[in-house]
Amino acid sequence: MKFIVSSSSLLKQLQAIGGVLNSSNTLPILDNFLFDVNKNQLKVSASDLETTMTTLINIESKDNGSIAIPAKLLLDTLKTFADQPLTFIVDPEKYTIEIVSDYGKYKIAGHNGDEFPKLPGIEASATLDIDAGVLVSAITKTIFATGSDELRPVMSGVFFQLTSNDISFVATDAHKLVRYRRTDAKAQSDASFIVPKKPLNLLKNTLAGVSGNINIQYSKTNALFAYDNTVLVCRLIDGKYPNYDAVIPKQNPNKLTVDRIAFLNSIKRVSIFSNKTTHQVRLKITGSELSIFAEDIDFSNEASERLTCQYTGEDMEIGFNSKFLLDMLNNLSCENVNVEMSAPNRAGILLPSEKDNAAEDILMLVMPVMLNN
């Protein structure tokens, strides 16, 4: 089997799907890329059994066949070439691959392509088309709030909730919660599923330069994302997502509006002086003044700052984990942020004061930390 391919286009596509590969695999065959040649098209697959990515590349060939090629060795080799045509000559009996470049020849020991796990099929699936930019925005604004507790796997992914009016993406780790809703994306029928973190990060990284729509197909066990010449199939997280709506407080009479960047920078500076285990910062709001205070009693360190703000409600003092606040403020893009609160022991809600996009609805919730007066 013989084929000719551009070194730079092959490297670009392999790097895009190479993120699937784990550093340590239970099956040695998963350390390889699977090359499937079908005349003038090369299909390359990478898998970790849970997630599989495939990509199509145009080549020059008259042959058909498959071979598994060690991924790290091939990537390291391709990175050293300037853009040039490479000729791959595969011995189907001995599973050896010879690469011929302008500079010389390189021989790699491959494996039987039939040993590579088959791409999971998606039966009786429903489909949905969504704009690439919308999906990237949804992943970016929610994935930071996912949990990493192995005892609660449902919280380690992002919950996709599809209706005929809108699509909601929800992430929570029980301390913070983000609900990102789009009214410009709709599904034909109501459905919901939980996508793990790894495939979402792969999508976020590979969709950066993609424009147009992505086709999503989903069944009870798997989801498939197809765009450009790439397909990602992942196993969904099995389980029932917690009723997130029940934890969002509906009555929040205390409303604070403050400059997002000033608030962010203030917390950044003050939190350096907070306790290293609780990361607690205290917000004290009186009239149009917001005081931010942190202390580490063990080392006698403390810091405080004042900001001007707009506030309606009763004077109050509330404590938050500064890391959670910083994550949320960093993932908002508005000029001013609204913080809505009901009581010092109830969750606080962060909302953008102004919207860049009328179809976008973001709500971020953070649980308070008990103040030790």
Q: Give the SS3 label for residue 143.
A: helix
Q: Does residue 176 sit within a domain?
A: no
- The H-or-E segment that residue 122 falls in is none
- Kindly state whether residues 133 and 237 are assigned to the same domain: yes
- The closest alpha carbon to 131, from 333, 334, 359, belongs to 359
Q: At what angle do helices 197-206 and 132-142 cross, to 10 degrees?
A: 130
CB atoms within 10 A of CB 314: 11
Looking at residue 52, what is its pLDDT? 96
Q: Which residues contact 68 (CB under 8 A, 6 or more apart)?
A: 29, 32, 33, 34, 35, 95, 110, 111, 112, 113, 115, 116
Looking at residue 73, what is its pLDDT? 97
The first and second tokens of residue 345, run together, are 């022991």
How far apart (Å, rounded) are the C-alpha atoms in residues 344 and 187? 39
- Kindly state whether residues 154 and 198 are assigned to the same domain: yes
Looking at residue 119, what is its pLDDT? 80
How far apart (Å, rounded) are the C-alpha atoms in residues 206 and 326? 26
Percentages helix, strand, coil for the chain, rounded to the nearest 5? 25, 45, 35
Q: Does residue 371 sit within a domain?
A: no
- Kindly state whether residues 193 and 231 are assigned to the same domain: yes
Q: Does residue 359 sit within a domain?
A: yes
- Kindly state whether residues 100 and 15 are assigned to the same domain: yes
Looking at residue 373, what is its pLDDT? 58
Residues 275-278: contacts with CB under 8 Å, at least 24 apart: 278/321, 278/369
Domain range for 260 is: 248-366
The number of distinct structural domains making up the chain is 3
- Kindly state whether residues 293 and 208 are assigned to the same domain: no
Q: Does residue 177 sit within a domain?
A: no
Looking at residue 121, what is its pLDDT? 77
Q: Are 86 and 7 in contact (CB under 8 A)?
A: yes
The first and second tokens of residue 29, run together, are 């065959």
How far apart (Å, rounded) are the C-alpha atoms in residues 119 and 200? 18
How far apart (Å, rounded) are the C-alpha atoms in residues 191 and 183? 16
In 349-361, which positions are buried (b, 16+ CB within 10 angstroms) versus exposed (e)?
bbbbeeeeeeebb
In 210-220, which positions are buried (b, 16+ CB within 10 angstroms) versus exposed (e)?
beeebebbbbe
Give the neighbor-by-neighbor strand order of the sheet with 2-6.
Answer: 2-6, 85-91, 96-100, 105-109
Q: Which residues contact 218 (CB under 8 A, 6 or more apart)?
A: 122, 125, 126, 127, 128, 191, 193, 224, 236
Looking at residue 371, what is its pLDDT? 75
- Kindly state whether residues 295 and 350 are assigned to the same domain: yes
Looking at residue 357, what is its pLDDT? 86
The first and second tokens of residue 267, run together, are 């917390």
198: domain CATH number is 3.10.150.10
Q: Does residue 14 sit within a domain?
A: yes
Q: Does residue 372 sit within a domain?
A: no
How far apart (Å, rounded) are the C-alpha atoms in residues 45 and 118? 10
- Kindly state whether residues 139 and 214 are assigned to the same domain: yes
- Kindly state whether residues 12 and 52 are assigned to the same domain: yes
C-alpha Rg value of the chain to the nearest Å: 25
- Kindly state whether residues 298 and 325 are assigned to the same domain: yes
Q: Using alpha carbons only, what angle is made at residue 208 by residues 176 and 153, rounded to the nearest 5 degrees? A: 35
How far apart (Å, rounded) are the C-alpha atoms in residues 183 and 205? 24
How far apart (Å, rounded) are the C-alpha atoms in residues 206 and 302? 43
The first and second tokens of residue 341, run together, are 């609160």
- Kindly state whether residues 59 and 158 are assigned to the same domain: no
Token look-up 């010092």 returns 344
- Kindly state whether residues 292 and 311 are assigned to the same domain: yes
Q: Does residue 268 sit within a domain?
A: yes
Q: Does residue 292 sit within a domain?
A: yes
- Kindly state whether residues 356 and 272 are assigned to the same domain: yes
Kindly list the averaged pLDDT for each block of 10 residues, start to end, along the chain of length 373: 96 95 91 95 96 96 95 96 95 95 95 90 84 95 94 95 96 96 92 96 91 93 94 96 94 96 97 94 94 94 96 95 96 95 94 90 94 66
